[in-house]
Structure 1
Amino acid sequence: MGSHCILEVDVNGEEIFVVDKRIISSYSGKISKLFSKSKDVTPRLKVIFHDFPGGAANFELITRFCYNKGETNINPYNICNLTCAAHFMEMNKFVAGVENLCEQTEKSLDEIKYWTWSELLLALKHCQDLLPGANSIGILDKFLDSLVGKVASSVETSPCPSTSSPDSSGFRLSCETRSSEGLKNSFFRATWWFEDLVGLDIRIIEMVVRLMVSRNVDNGIISKFLFYCQKSRFSSASLDEKVQIIEKVVEMLYSLDISCVSYKSLLELLRVGLNMNLSCCCRERLESMIGSLLDQATLDNLLIPSPTRKSYLYDTNLVLRFLKSFSGKGVRFVPLSQLKKVADLIDLYLSEIAPDPNLKPSKFLAIIRALPDSARDSFDGVYGAVNLYLEVHSGLSEEQKMKVCCGLNYDKLSSESINELTQNANFPSKSVTQALISRQRKLKNLLQDTDRSSFSDYPSRFFQAGRNGRKIDQGSQQIVLYAKKLNIPDENEKLKEHLQGMQWRVVELEKVCQKMQIQMGKMMKSRLSSYSNGKSVPKLCS
């Protein structure tokens, strides 16, 4: 071959460059290898590149470097293009007196820590156009590492970063020491980078978030950025693009500490995605995150309309999935305060959905039983919802009504609720019987507690016994009244007899209490008389 052989280079079908093969091959190991074994004496050769990084514009940078005897100006604007092209063309050959392009770009990358934020962002935007090549040679990692370092530094130096209240501004600032302007400035110092990064490729954003998590950047700030990213991108996105955005955002949110994520923002994201064709994995993760924060919900948050073409009013299946996520690995790991808060919320929800004529008994019962009995100090709220449900669904059979009543814990009903239940025509007779048995059990326990009390310790015990006796007497009279009023079957005759026997025992206890009170009155008069005569008062107890 001649020393000045012409080489035609077709770059990705965009443009054909005509160059001197000798000059290019002296710097490019790739070109040199391609023709090292060729015996073709044709003065004109051709090579075709289908995947040249950066296309024709980038190949032009390479040719200029070669024709300029290995000299070029490397800056944040072109460093990514030159680095990727240098690796593709294998421009690491030794040339006497000249530093090869791979070495030059490597040295420039060592100075990345001194770059400004604008220079980093500019380089990163060029880098995303060269994916996945830029990622494979490690240049993208260097850009991201430096960029996240600057973000992390700004978040750490912001005063009082908070992860305890994700729905707040993100900072704990005392109103006595910080003005509202100070709050705005603090928040800005932690979120100033949102607008700059939101326009990056979603793959780059995913890498940024992953790196932030590994560097322990405040997860509350990261979650705010992801929600900001979703809202910003939605304005100009198509339906398919919106689905992809939500799925990516949910995937990234799922990697964060859930306690730092805003419940309201998650719920808003769910409402937006309800009518979209989200993947099953995405829906499960989103519902799981919302469910684990259910103690932050309000009644309005749960009243989500049922899916289209469904007859019932509200999406009870969704709420059941929330409750399952809230329980997590077991309710024993959930703080009792949170458990009770969710139970109060569900009681309100039950009353709201009870009038739905299309709500099946099994579904209503499933929501009641989704939480353990320990979550409720009182079942009065559940009783009210069940009463409303039975009133609306009056056509249910006795068996179906009893199935709904299985959700009641009669031992946790107040006396008022039991009194009302036993006279409520909406409830089946078996439920009334169970309420009576529960009342009997309570009275029996109260009698045993009173019998165990010592009447010889302190005068106050006598008065307490008297008060307890009156309560028991009133309650037992009510129970006997119910037993007489109701048509109790023969198999429950023993219960009736037992209740009547209990009434007799209560009356006897009342007589004892009255005697104790009379004795106590005499003792108190004796003490007052002794005191007025200037005598010492004898001790009642030694």
Structure 2
Amino acid sequence: MDASCGDLQVDVNGEETFFIHEEIISLYCGKIRKLFGKSKGAATNLKVIFHDFPGGPESFELVSRFCYNNGRIDINPCSAPRLFCAAHYLEMNETVSGSHNLLEQTEKSLEEIKFWSWPELLSALKNCHNLVSVSSSSGILQRCLDSLVARLVFTSETSPSCPSSSSPESSVLRLSTDSKSTESLRSGFLRSTWWFEDLVTVLTPNLVKLLVKSMVLHKFDLGVTSRFLFYYQKSRFIIANSDEKREITETVIDSLSLLDQRSVPCKSLFGILRVSLNLNIKKLSKNSLEHMIGSQLDQATLDNLLVLPPHGSNHLYDVNLVLQYVKHFLAGKGGRGVPTSEMKKVVRLIDSYIAEVAPDPRLKASKFLALVTALPESARDSYDEIYHAIDIYLRVHTRLSDGEKTSICESVNYDKLSTETCNHLTQNEKFPSRFATNALKAQQRKLENLFRDMDLKKRLVAPVETEAKDGRCEEVVLYAEQVVHDGKKVDIVDENEKMKAHLEGMQWRVVELEKVCRKMQTQMTKILKSRMSRQPSSKSLPRLCS
């Protein structure tokens, strides 16, 4: 505007200056009226500077038109958010000359938001981009988001009424498949995701989390929500710079953490992890991502865990990251305990990972030991894999101190080693001899348990043998009472044959174990003699503390 058009100069956010009549604008704007209420009589040099005017010059121009048009203006879904926030900012809540004030008019317009078309709703949401601070406090942004989510909830239950031409839904018409079932599956998927592209082009990262919160509140399909977040990240990355990628990634992680983790695919989380490695995302988001992955660790694969370490580290893989996963996995069940099936999967996964990182010559003993002991001892049925990983580690790391080697070897539960592994251990010079003795003792305990078990089985079979010889029915009854299971009596003769076969198998195992033990004892004796013969004379070297 030219200076001759008004006596008030308005600087809007340093972007543009307006020259207007103070008397006209003050009639409708309470904020300006308060500023110049005591300046009546002053004719020139009136000026006001707005540093945070919502919507900038475009919004102020709309307000000026309203004032110069005697309080009348066409309000549509595109202009409603701007006018509403501007009216709040300028305190335009007073009625003049019988006309409705601007705040009241925009409020009435927003009450019709549920009748807006999909493109109109997107347009209104897009206009909220520059109004986030004011629109959030005034409620306009939340109204738009709630209306949009309500529309998505409705269309997910029926079919989208007004998808845009650029949305994935429109591409359904272009799809052709040979299988009707495949076409049905694909069209069903597109019916639930037709809005993805529309919102990717409209939503800034600071609006995405607000949208997800509204989706959770309205009980929208969380599986679809998580797919949208991954789609949003991939789509926006195409034209984003490094800083924008970091902001997008943090937003997606923070939004995913709001969802039920059963709706978030573990594979996709690892995809986000690999993207985030070089973006230096904030620690809070990093911890949140680790927690989400840890809670689903039983669904991970070995390749997922083989992540390069942070820049500057000389390890082959990021062991600390895996330790965090295990920590979150064990703590993620809320004190209810980890289901056995999930625990077994994680044990197999971590044991494979330990074997994979064991050859790393730069892996410290403390980190290796932390991996071995990360899961509770009771979680493993067998320590064979751990033993073989330790064997590799000891062969690669030949300069370990006696204390480090002892700590690592003590982490093995020798009672949970197989006979073959124990046999291998007795010939393994990398293991201190006392641990080979532990393995031998563990095998002897197995023998004792077998003998005890055999004795118990013999006692169960004895009454049947007596009955067969003496024909005493009473003992048959006693035995029958012992073999009642879930209210059903077991066939005595058949059960007796099974027990005899089991006893014969146990006897064979005892014989084999006795052979192994004798062999191990012989080997142990030879090894000890060999080691003693290679030790230096006590006269030439001081005696070491054992």
TM-score surpassing 0.5?
Answer: yes
Q: What residue is the counterpart of 1:319 in the other structure?
A: 322
Name the CA shift for 1:329/1:106 in 2 (closer, same or farther; >3 Å).
Answer: closer
Residue 75 of structure 1: SS of its match in structure 2?
coil
Q: What residue is the counterpart of 1:190 in the other structure?
A: 192
Name the CA shift for 1:62/1:77 in 2 (closer, same or farther; >3 Å).
Answer: same
Q: Which moved more, 1:304-313 or 1:204-213?
A: 304-313
Residue 190 of structure 2: SS of its match in structure 1?
helix
Name the CA shift for 1:432/1:130 in 2 (closer, same or farther; >3 Å).
Answer: same
Q: Does 1:125 align with 2:162?
A: no
| RMSD after superposition | 2.7
In structure 2, C-alpha distance between the alignment counterparts of 1:87 and 1:226, rounded to whole Å: 33
Query: Match for 1:465 among 503, 510, 525?
Result: 503
Contact 1:11 1:52 in 2 (8 A): no
Residue 237 of structure 1: SS of its match in structure 2?
coil
Name the CA shift for 1:464/1:26 in 2 (closer, same or farther; >3 Å).
Answer: closer
Deviations 1:334-363 (A, max 9, x none): 111011001111121122122222223332
Q: What residue is the counterpart of 1:353 in the other structure?
A: 357
Name the CA shift for 1:63/1:391 in 2 (closer, same or farther; >3 Å).
Answer: closer
Contact 2:28 2:101 in 1 (8 A): yes
Deviations 1:84-108 (A, max 9, x none): 2222332222223322222211111
Q: Does 1:276 align with 2:276?
A: no
Residues 369-408 of structure 1: pairs in structure 2 closer than 5 A: 369-396=373-400, 399-408=403-412
CA drift at 1:399: 4.6
Name the CA shift for 1:486/1:80 in 2 (closer, same or farther; >3 Å).
Answer: closer
Deviations 1:383-414 (A, max 9, x none): 22222223333454555433222222211112
Query: Match for 1:287 among 285, 290, 296?
Result: 290
In structure 1, C-alpha distance between the alignment counterparts of 2:56 and 2:187, rounded to whole Å: 44
Q: Does 1:96 align with 2:134?
A: no
Residue 358 of structure 1: SS of its match in structure 2?
coil
In structure 2, C-alpha distance between the alignment counterparts of 1:180 and 1:439, rounded to whole Å: 57
Deviations 1:312-343 (A, max 9, x none): 32221221111111111578611110110011
Q: Which amino acid counterpart does residue 206 of structure 1 have in structure 2?
A: K
Name the CA shift for 1:5/1:33 in 2 (closer, same or farther; >3 Å).
Answer: farther
Residues 20-419 of structure 1: pairs in structure 2 closer than 5 A: 20-38=21-39, 40-44=40-44, 46-50=46-50, 51-157=52-158, 179-199=181-201, 200-328=203-331, 333-396=337-400, 399-419=403-423
TM-score by length of 2: 0.80
Name the CA shift for 1:121/1:358 in 2 (closer, same or farther; >3 Å).
Answer: same
Q: What residue is the counterpart of 1:499 in the other structure?
A: none
Contact 1:402 1:430 in 2 (8 A): no
Residues 410-449 of structure 1: pairs in structure 2 closer than 5 A: 410-449=414-453
Q: Which amino acid counterpart does residue 506 of structure 2 have in structure 1?
A: N
Name the CA shift for 1:471/1:284 in 2 (closer, same or farther; >3 Å).
Answer: same
Contact 1:197 1:205 in 2 (8 A): no
Q: Which amino acid counterpart does residue 366 of structure 2 have in structure 1?
A: S
Deviations 1:89-132 (A, max 9, x none): 32222223322222211111111110011001101111222231
Unpaired stretches in structure 2, ≥5 consecutive residues: 161-178, 466-495, 529-546
Contact 1:92 1:103 in 2 (8 A): yes
Query: Match for 1:475 among 493, 510, 513?
Result: 513
In structure 2, C-alpha distance between the alignment counterparts of 1:387 and 1:470, rounded to whole Å: 31
Q: Which amino acid counterpart does residue 228 of structure 1 have in structure 2?
A: Y
Q: What residue is the counterpart of 2:173 in the other structure?
A: none
In structure 2, C-alpha distance between the alignment counterparts of 1:402 and 1:488, rounded to whole Å: 22
Residue 486 of structure 1: SS of its match in structure 2?
helix
Residue 275 of structure 1: SS of its match in structure 2?
coil
In structure 2, C-alpha distance between the alignment counterparts of 1:221 and 1:179, rounded to whole Å: 21
Residue 49 of structure 1: SS of its match in structure 2?
strand
Deviations 1:486-507 (A, max 9, x none): 23999xxxxxxxxxxxxxxxxx
Aligned residue pairs, count: 469
Name the CA shift for 1:81/1:474 in 2 (closer, same or farther; >3 Å).
Answer: closer
In structure 2, C-alpha distance between the alignment counterparts of 1:32 and 1:5, rounded to whole Å: 19
Deviations 1:470-522 (A, max 9, x none): 321331233234334423999xxxxxxxxxxxxxxxxxxxxxxxxxxxxxxxx
Q: What residue is the counterpart of 2:477 in the other structure?
A: none
Residue 46 of structure 2: SS of its match in structure 1?
strand
Q: Which runs of 4+ in 1 moved over 6 A?
A: none
Deviations 1:442-491 (A, max 9, x none): 1111111111222422653445434422321331233234334423999x
Contact 1:394 1:426 in 2 (8 A): no
Residue 17 of structure 1: SS of its match in structure 2?
strand
In structure 1, C-alpha distance between the alignment counterparts of 2:91 and 2:294, rounded to whole Å: 53
User: Equivalent pairs: percent with the same residue?
Assistant: 47
Q: Which amino acid counterpart does residue 261 of structure 2 have in structure 1?
A: I
Q: Which amino acid counterpart does residue 155 of structure 1 have in structure 2?
A: S
In structure 1, C-alpha distance between the alignment counterparts of 2:300 and 2:429, rounded to whole Å: 35
Contact 1:6 1:43 in 2 (8 A): no
Q: Which amino acid counterpart does residue 327 of structure 2 have in structure 1?
A: K
Unpaired stretches in structure 1, ≥5 consecutive residues: 160-176, 491-542
CA drift at 1:380: 1.8
CA drift at 1:248: 1.9
In structure 2, C-alpha distance between the alignment counterparts of 1:60 and 1:363, rounded to whole Å: 65
CA drift at 1:203: 1.7
CA drift at 1:6: 4.8
Q: Which moved more, 1:387-396 or 1:207-216?
A: 387-396
Residue 370 of structure 1: SS of its match in structure 2?
coil
CA drift at 1:16: 4.0
Name the CA shift for 1:156/1:408 in 2 (closer, same or farther; >3 Å).
Answer: farther
Q: Which amino acid counterpart does residue 7 of structure 1 have in structure 2?
A: D
Residue 98 of structure 2: SS of its match in structure 1?
coil
CA drift at 1:145: 1.3
Contact 2:423 2:520 in 1 (8 A): no
Q: Which moved more, 1:333-342 or 1:313-322?
A: 313-322
CA drift at 1:74: 0.8
Deviations 1:200-243 (A, max 9, x none): 22222221111111122222221211122222222222222222
In structure 2, C-alpha distance between the alignment counterparts of 1:155 and 1:183, rounded to whole Å: 15
Name the CA shift for 1:215/1:392 in 2 (closer, same or farther; >3 Å).
Answer: same
Query: Match for 1:486 among 518, 524, 529?
Result: 524
In structure 2, C-alpha distance between the alignment counterparts of 1:403 and 1:52, rounded to whole Å: 66
Name the CA shift for 1:118/1:368 in 2 (closer, same or farther; >3 Å).
Answer: same
In structure 1, C-alpha distance between the alignment counterparts of 2:239 and 2:230, rounded to whole Å: 16
Give the structure with higher Rg (CA).
1
Contact 1:158 1:186 in 2 (8 A): no
